[in-house]
């Protein structure tokens, strides 16, 4: 992981996935990474797959020089991770390690909600559909800032939204932030007047943008767009 101040920054680590060695070397100098171990599957010639997690953890803690992920033995002790980080992994102490399976463990994500302004929509892969809606929040100066998007609509809803959003179109086009994952794919979106508000769930914020698990819960006809402030991301 890469440390950013007192916090681990997974987004910075993802930047290392780059084809150019010069870019990787530059980032390694600017934001040094460190190895944090969370499990051990073998030690020397001893295979530990059938050992319980509790036994494997004891072996891991006996290896000198390693930085380990923290472990909490109670639900109360793990509460702070649900408030300060993305979530926790709960594991059964007696569970063996099963390659390719999630046996004896469950990921518990931190789910949060915000009310956001619908700034526009991005066309779906199928013609005449909405692939995603673009979300924005107002900063302290009253500027509407793009903070992410939400997709995952059903096929029926994707087609319905085209007509529902049409009355709000400004005739302009926006452009999403460049991403190394899109490989140059067009991210143009149809701009809308900032009059629609949606409540969405999400579980992670990085660099002022929501990153994971964004899902529309409901449309907020009862809320003014100007109430959708950027301060929500820090709450």
CA–CA dist 94, 54 (Å, integer):
6
> Residue written as tokens 């820090």?
234
Tokens of 233: 């991301």
Identify the CATH number of the domain defined by range 112-234.
2.40.50.140
Return mean pLDDT, the chain: 85
197-212 pLDDT per residue, tens: 999 988 777 778 887 6
Domain with CATH 2.40.50.140 in the chain: 112-234
**Considering only CA atoms, which of 223, 231, 224 is closest in space to residue 145?**
231
pLDDT of 183 above 70: no
Locate CATH 3.30.470.30 in the chain: 3-109
Six-digit token pair at 36?
């944090």
pLDDT at position 184 is 43
Angle, alpha carbons 181-218-131 (nearest 5°): 30
Q: Identify how many contiguous H helices and E strands the chain contains and give both numbers.
A: 5, 17
Options 3.40.190.10, 2.10.109.10, 3.40.50.11810, 3.30.470.30; which CATH number does 3-109 get? 3.30.470.30
pLDDT of residue 202: 86
Query: Residue 186 pLDDT more than 80?
Result: no
pLDDT digits (tens, 9 = 90+) for 53-70: 999 999 999 999 999 998
Residue-wise pLDDT for 106-134, tens only, equals 988 777 889 999 999 999 988 899 999 99
Say whether pLDDT at 3 is over 70.
no
């Amino acid at each position: 992981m890469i440390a950013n101040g007192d916090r681990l920054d997974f987004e910075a680590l993802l930047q290392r996935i780059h084809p150019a060695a010069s870019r990787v070397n530059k980032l390694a100098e600017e934001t040094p990474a460190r190895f944090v171990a969370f499990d051990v599957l073998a030690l020397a010639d001893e295979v530990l797959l059938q050992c319980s997690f509790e036994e494997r953890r004891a072996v891991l803690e006996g290896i000198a020089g390693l930085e380990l992920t923290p472990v909490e033995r109670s639900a109360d002790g793990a509460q702070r991770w649900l408030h300060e980080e993305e979530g926790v992994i709960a594991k059964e102490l007696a569970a063996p390690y099963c390659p390719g399976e999630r046996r004896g463990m469950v990921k518990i994500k931190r789910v949060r909600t915000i009310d956001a302004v619908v700034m526009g929509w991005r066309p779906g892969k199928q013609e005449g559909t909405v692939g995603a809606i673009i979300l924005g929040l107002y900063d302290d100066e009253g500027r509407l800032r793009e903070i992410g998007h939400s997709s995952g609509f059903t096929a029926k809803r994707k087609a319905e939204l085209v007509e529902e959003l049409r009355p709000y179109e400004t005739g302009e086009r926006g452009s999403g932030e460049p991403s190394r994952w899109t490989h140059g794919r067009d991210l143009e979106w149809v701009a809308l007047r900032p009059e629609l508000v949606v409540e969405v769930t999400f579980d992670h914020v990085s660099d002022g943008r929501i990153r994971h698990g964004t899902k529309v819960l409901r449309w907020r006809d009862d809320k003014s767009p100007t109430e959708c402030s950027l301060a929500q991301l820090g709450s």
